[in-house]
Amino acid sequence: MSQKVTHRIARRFFVCLMLCSGVLIGVCGCSLIPNSSFKNIKRISKESLKARLEDPSIVILDVRRPQDWNKSGIKIKGAIQENPHKFNDWYYRYPKTKTIVLY
């Protein structure tokens, strides 16, 4: 894969990440983001996510800013905290075969 294509994919993933990072997954229904360029990004209810917390096919990423994460007393058990500002350092770590849940 060329570097240009890889950069484009990374940029799209970052835009997606930023759109999702401000939204707590538990507040969302199972609808799609209204932006037509993100038709494949689904939202999940907190009840649905809670029922699947032990599912090994799901990776939960807490992408709140580090200062927000540190201040918060609410964290999803098993979620991995990732700094949204360092996206290029970690986005490739997560396999495309998994369902990635961002909050």
Domain count, the chain: 1
CATH code of the domain containing 53: 3.40.250
The average pLDDT across 63-67 equals 88
Task: Quote the domain boundaries for residue 92.
Answer: 3-102
Q: What's the pLDDT at 28? A: 40
Output the furthest CA–CA distance in the chain (Å, rounded): 42
Taking CB atoms within 8 Å and a gap of at least 24, the contacts of 49-55 are 49/25, 49/76, 49/101, 53/77, 53/78
pLDDT tens track for 10-42: 666 655 555 454 444 443 433 334 445 456 778
pTM of the model: 0.58
